[in-house]
Amino acid sequence: DTEVTQTPKHLVMGMTNKKSLKCEQHMGHRAMYWYKQKAKKPPELMFVYSYEKLSINESVPSRFSPECPNSSLLNLHLHALQPEDSALYLCASSQELGSSGANVLTFGAGSRLTVL
């Protein structure tokens, strides 16, 4: 069982819909991440929160909007997505951001998104 929980596991949405992906961890980790992964490609970093503040935004389009309500929760709000945004969205957490010994990532099982 993964210690990072993501919901929903699968999501199908139209280009005009608004939906959210949710992620939760109870390991006391202070860094949380969103990654996007396409088939046969490595995970691609989107956002990083450290101590509930946005630390890294990899120039992600504004139709993706992250939110970190508290140290255990991370959301990704989706609006007006395109079919090419269909992918596996992975949440991850680590003890800290940037410290070499403490940034081992624990991934959630992912949310598989299909945009019609």
Site for another protein in 29-48 (CB under 8 A): 31, 41-45, 48
From 15-23, 70-78, 79-87, 100-108, span contacting another protein (CB under 8 A): 100-108
Question: CB of 18: closest distance to another protein in angstroms?
Answer: 25
Question: CB of 91: closest distance to another protein in angstroms?
Answer: 9
Residue from the set 17, 72, 95, 103 that interacts with another protein by CB under 8 A: 103
Question: CB of 75: closest distance to another protein in angstroms?
Answer: 18
Residues 108, 91 contacting (CB under 8 angstroms) = yes
* Distance (Å, whole) CA 25 – CA 94: 10
Sites of contact with another protein (CB under 8 A): 2, 31, 41-45, 48, 50, 55-56, 90, 96-101, 103-110
